[in-house]
Structure 1
Amino acid sequence: MALPQTPESNPIDYIDDEDFISLDIPLEMADERLDKVLAGSLPDYSRNRLKAWVEAGAVIVDGKVTKARYLLRGGENIKVFPQAMPEQFAFSSEDIPLDVVYEDADLIVINKPPGLVVHPAAGNWSGTLLNGLLFRFPELKMLPRAGIVHRLDKDTSGLMVVARTSHAQTLLVRQLQDRTVGRRYLAFVWGDAPSQGKVLASVGRDQRDRLKMTAGSPQGKPAATLFRRLTRGLIGASPVALLECRLETGRTHQIRVHLESLGFPLIGDPVYRKKTPGAAKNLEFHRQALHAYALSLQHPSKNGLMTWFRVPPQDILDLLPQLGMSEEVLPNEATVLASMQNESQTCT
């Protein structure tokens, strides 16, 4: 149905007439706020949900859309058109282009582009990697999180593995817990980073800013990041470096938090950038310069090590000359895959 048109409303199609909730407001409720009356009359719905319906124009007072703070006169009729909340569509399939590097009956390896959220959550209930996976691989709807066993941040690019069966998902999660999955990243940072190092610092939620993580948090989980410098560069007088990072653990924002704690924030990072120099304004790069370029794991059923490699996306390749670096400094696929093979054999 189309809601009545008023100066405050736009044409929006809502659910069928018979699905609305009708409330007749008694005269004694005069001068009560609309949101308060709704909360008291409809206790099965949260205040936030009711407020969202009011703001969406799905609550009609005597045929008119109004505001949550509207003061009732008493005697009005209110129609509430319950709206499906975004999270109800979180696990729907969407035709989202995916760069599938490898697939078989057990697993899928994806080269995730920057800007793609991995899993639906508040603020991103659709348009995620999970939605795209469900479109291309409908059988994943039978698995928890559609087979996703680890994540990359929205603006981090690179390789991820997704399980295709419950057996594979269990074994891949176990490998992640046992720290036997090989993950290598390219990280472009501000500062004159040392030739190599290892960061051992817990990572936990920042108590002052719940949207951020922090290193060394007493409530955090143990985390370890190894790094080695591949090359140096300059932007004006500001030193920069390209690092190869290896994860021994996989905490939220781990590389970003660990490197910033050393004074080497990622170029382009919009969150972890306390010590970013003024030269940053001269760069045409607006995401954290982080790419998961190599991945290795024991195949769940083939009982052998498999490795994958992907060069960074074009935006990072375009960043190199701005930093005084060439593509020749990037790791070589054959060398990296051989190194990861040897590393796996050493660990076992």
Structure 2
Amino acid sequence: MKKLKIIMTGGGSAGHVTPNLALIPKLKELGYDIQYIGTENGIERKIIEDEKIRYHIISSGKLRRYFDIKNFTDPFKVIKGVFEAKNIIKREKPNIVFSKGGFVSVPVVIGAYLNRVPVIAHESDMTPGLANKIAAPFCTKVCVTFPESINKIKNNKGVLTGTPIRNKLFDGSKIRGRQICGFEDKKPILLVIGGSLGSKVINDAIREELDDLLVKFNIIHICGKGNLEGKLKNKKGYMQFEYVKEDLPHLMAATDIFVSRAGANVIFELLALRKPNLLIPLSAKASRGDQILNAASFEKSGYSMVIQEEEINSKLLIKKLDELYNEKEKYKKNMSSSSISNGVEEIIKLIKKYTR
């Protein structure tokens, strides 16, 4: 029997790639030949090639909601990418395409549609991103993470699945996590993460109050590429990383409370792991406001404490972290009662259902 083939896509940030990684083990188990379409220099390329998955390169321009001179040239890159994706899909003959969004996904989804190949897309945030808005008419179904999102997907294409979470995140060792960081005392651990590219606002806020925070916590700081602070390299109780991949499950297992941005992928991972967290969503000045909505939903459900980026100051940060740690059992209890589950199984059901 001919082997089933799936082409996956998504890129521009790690948030548009890591959910694909959560699906890959199950797809392999089901016997799918997995390939990927992305850009030449996108963050998705290294992540996917590290998984030993065949990677196809296309052109793609960035889609912007604001004025930029590249808005006049990038549409031509998108059009070029459509023809490149169309040709790849025609040659490879996949049975289905799965799109995680990001600007690279638009040419791929349209290319699949032109080849009459079914497309399942996934939207992590409460409101669809621009790429998924453009791609949705060419999709068979669009998976959503928040119940509030169903009505934002037209033509009855929306399906509530939750977000796919990597199983390896549940395999972390608390002991190994402490060993990796060299933490020898029993102080609770605070893990700070500002997204795949880091966050200057969060990095600066934590480092400004580092001495006071270290009185109570050991701190793991995942600060983003190029954001290591050399002067703090040997600071006792403080361990900084640009990016963590293989050891992340151990670090998360060892952590008592988190400070994080409010991207959908990371907050649903924290929910699945029942980890109390303080969310600092990306400001509406620097985004379309999706993280603010994500954080508000989690705060309303009792899963997270929230500080808006514009409100951050040293006294408030320390006060909120003390509150979060003292009330951590309340947050764990709220998260334990959540009906939201790992989205892997529901998305796999859809992929199987619509595989041509």
TM-score, structure 2 length as denominator?
0.23
More strand, by proportion: 1
Higher helix proportion, which one? 2
